[in-house]
Structure 1
Amino acid sequence: MTRTASKALFLALAMALGALPTSSEALSPAIPDETLIRQLIDQQTRAWNDHDATAWSKDFAPDADFVNIVGTVFSGRAEIEKRHAGIFASIFKTSQSRVTVRRLVFVGPDVAVVDMDHEVTGHSGLPPGVQNTDESGVLRTRMKYVLRKSDGKWQIVSGQNTDVKPAPKSPKK
């Protein structure tokens, strides 16, 4: 038996016995959920830096809730997108964000919680009651997302953004 014939016979036997996947989809390993979620966060960060509200909002579930930095609740992806289009056209139109995932926890096979630190620079102003976290002009926030996997796709179902207040000044002696 030739070497090529031996390989063909081995592959045929392995497939018949179920030892090898039979579809091209099964041949490529699935991307781990943590990687998919981190990619979602990276894409959202790029969308912020491009000031693209549609791309920034695309991974929110249609019925998601989002609490912004001043405590206003946006209900649904459409409202989240509309409100972000407004800030990208005004005070955050020249901003840049750097996002660090601080913690990613799976609370079930289809639910994850992500805690992130955001550093936003280049903004032209801030909402009332919000101030830069330090004298360098950096706004630091803490973002928390709850994500749900549905039909193989991760979506943000709830988000909360909280600004990090500047450290209090030391009392004068």
Structure 2
Amino acid sequence: MTPHAHTDDAARDRAAITAALERLTDAWNAGDAAAYGAQFTEDAGYVAYDGSTMNGRAEIEHVHRVLFEGPLRGSRLEGSGAGDAPPRFIRPGVAVLQHGGGARPDGAAELADDRLSVATLVLVEEGPGDWRIAAFHNTRRRPAPNGPGEEG
């Protein structure tokens, strides 16, 4: 039997993962580092767009508190749709997904192209319907080399 052979289970888990991402976004937009960190597992790994790393929920919360009180104060996390894919359940209780978006600085009218990122997340179910992020890797969005419109 493949993971999520039962459609009801898959739909329930997709909805729970969507809710977890909404809580993550809401926490960012409120500048609430504790609520942001709470969306991660205790031992989560986090790679920011610039390659800096954070290890564990406590460090993720601490670093985001500094960011929310400083350079990212008032920023808004926005999805772009670019790079989005539905969760792929690689085994029961473990899902991988890609999500596009970025942080629009306070006062900016729109999310600039140079701030667009794609994040790859590994989520685990810590209890029935309770999905948390175990790994988060954020990368600035760029066209692929020799992609459409580029000469090789």
Superposition TM-score, scaled by structure 1 size: 0.67
Matched with 2:46 is: 66
Deviation, structure 1 residue 123: 4.7
Query: Does the 8 Å CA contact 1:95/1:120 hold for their aligned counterparts?
Result: yes
SS at match of 1:116: strand
| 1:118 shift after superposition | 1.1
Alignment partner, residue 99 of structure 2: 116
User: Partner of 2:140 in structure 1?
Assistant: 163
Which whole-Å CA distance do the structure 2 matches of 1:166 and 1:158 have between them? 24
Which structure has more RCO (C-alpha within 8 Å, separation ≥ 6)?
2
Residue equivalent to 2:33 = 53
Report the equivalent of 1:14. none
Partner of 2:21: 41
How many equivalent residue pairs? 129
Question: How far apart, CA to CA, are the structure 1 residues paired with 2:36 and 2:51?
Answer: 19
1:110-147 CA distances to partner (integer Å, 9 max, x unpaired)?
A: 100111001321258xxxxxxx534xxxx111111101
Tell me the alpha carbon deviations over residues 63-88 of structure 1, each in whole angstroms, 9 at most, x when there is no partner. Answer: 11101111111110000000011111
Aligned to 1:128: none
- Return 5+ residue gaps in structure 2 as ranges: 1-7
Whether contact under 8 Å (2:23, 2:39) holds in the other structure is no
Asked if 2 retains the 8 angstrom alpha-carbon contact of 1:91 and 1:123, the reply is no
Please give the per-residue CA displacement for 1:16-68, whole angstroms capped at 9, x wherever unaligned. Answer: xxxxxxxxxxxxx9870000000110111111111111111102110111011
Unmatched tracts of structure 1, length 5 or more: 1-28, 125-131
2:69 corresponds to:
89
Q: Distance in 1 between matches of 2:118 and 2:16?
A: 21
After superposition, the Cα gap between the structure-2 partners of 1:163 and 1:123, relative to the gap in structure 1 and judged at 3 Å, is farther
User: 1:150 is aligned with what amino acid?
Assistant: E
SS at match of 1:102: coil
> Contact 2:45/2:54 (CA < 8 Å) preserved in 1?
yes
The percent of aligned pairs where both chains have the same amino acid is: 29
Give me the TM-score of the superposition, normalised by structure 2. 0.76
* Separation in 1, partners of 2:106, 2:61: 19
Q: What is the RMSD computed on CA atoms of the aligned residues? A: 2.5
- SS of alignment partner, residue 77 of structure 2: strand
Q: Distance in 2 between matches of 1:165 and 1:150?
A: 34
Higher Cα radius of gyration: 1
Q: Which of 116, 127, 134 lines up with 1:140 in the alignment?
A: 116
Give, as a single letter, the amino acid of the residue that structure 2 aligns with 1:105: R
